[in-house]
Amino acid sequence: MQNAECRSRVNQGGGRRAEGGDQPGAENGGQRPENGGRAADFRPPGCGLRPPAWAHLADELADRLSRESVIRRNEPLAKHTTLRVGGPAEVYVEPAGERDLALVLRFCRQHELPFLVIGRGSNLLVKDGGFPGVVISLAQPQFTRIEIAGQRLHCGAGARLKRVAVEARRHGLAGLEFLEGIPGSVGGALRMNAGAMGGATFDVVESVRLMDYSGAVRECKVGELAVEYRSCPMLKTHIALSAVWVGWADLPEGIGQRMNQFSRKRWNSQPAARSAGCIFKNPDSIPAGRLIDELGLKGTRVGGALVSAEHGNFIVTDDAASARDVLDLIDLVRGRVRAERGIELKIEVEIVGQ
């Protein structure tokens, strides 16, 4: 077994072994993945495999990581998402740096544990049963740095997009103003090719530093990556560690004015209540928000989830909301859109967990 020092690291909050971690409920939820290292693909419950002993695994992982890494059991994921719904992660890790991140990935592979990398959780819907695996957050300082070199910004995957926009403005670098109101992180923006106000992430990113699921690191020029509307497929099988963004020289005042303009436009058309941004991708024929609006679905409620009255492509949540409410509301909207317009809305937010 682990020493007391290690146990206190896993528990963080109380310096005691995590409570309730391997209770029957959690054990039943701990389905094993069919193949190592995949965040999806779990075996169905009751398939006869012994579920992992999470507390023991968390202790073992803590032993391998440097002291600067954070590791917790049963971490509520609702507080790591902007929708504020969803259950806990069996194990939650903030690796101190690339070496520890690689160790976590290899540990997951070795033990066939599902894992999931989260950013600021602004495009994420975690189901109420939580995530039966290891959730990795690049929130430690090694991953949140922003450094300026000439017209380039070197940004860690955990850096907030708002900070990237503000730093660009401060250094008189234009072109990144659209990032101002996107509530995500650099890593999330890369994975989703996030965009707003006519700008998109890969329009202004020059290169990306990536880690594959075995822990190997490489740098990719943007030309080497396939990039699509709201997606960079390579980042479904690799983890973005950092990116180089390129701006062009302009006066900070002009940049600031454009940021204010975008901000005003956003406040006028999007809800301030908690949400995951746009829920659906825009179909080619019509923006999803307008479509939902035209069908009179704004204000439709399921439990604590509501189609925003301000923008039809936003679902907002209140304190009573569950992930189930949000999922049921998504189904309801998709069903109506399918029935009345024959359009199959594709979900933009990432849905994880059980």
Q: CA–CA separation, 84 vs 99, rounded Å?
A: 31
Name the closest residue to ligand EPU (Cβ): 277
Distances (CA, A) of 296 to 93, 128, 284, 292, 311: 43, 29, 20, 7, 12
- Is there binding between residue 177 and ligand EPU (CB under 6 A)? no
Which of 201, 242, 313, 317 touches ligand EPU (CB under 6 A)? Answer: 313
Reported as type and span, the H/E element at residue 210 is strand 205-212
- Is there binding between residue 119 and ligand EPU (CB under 6 A)? no
Q: Which is nearer to ligand EPU, 95 or 312 (CB)?
A: 312
Q: Which is nearer to ligand EPU, 150 or 299 (CB)?
A: 299
Nearest distance, CB of residue 224 and ligand EPU, angstroms: 25
Stretch that binds ligand EPU, among 7-15, 102-110, 134-142, 308-316 (CB under 6 A): 308-316
Nearest distance, CB of residue 306 and ligand EPU, angstroms: 13
Q: CA–CA separation, 272 vs 276, rounded Å?
A: 11
**Which residues are CB-contacts of 33 (< 8 A; sequence separation ≥ 6)?**
41, 42, 43, 112, 113, 114, 133
Report the DSSP beta bridge partners of residue 207.
221, 244
* Pairing of the two strands 305-307 and 301-302: antiparallel
| The residue to which tokens 């039966």 are assigned | 132
Provide the token pair at 132: 């039966």
Which of 124, 196, 244, 323 touches ligand EPU (CB under 6 A)? Answer: 196
Q: Of residues 248-307, which lie at the interface with ligand EPU (CB under 6 A)?
A: 269, 277-278, 281-282, 287, 289-290, 293
Q: Which residues bind ligand EPU (CB under 6 A)?
A: 196-197, 269, 277-278, 281-282, 287, 289-290, 293, 311-313, 348
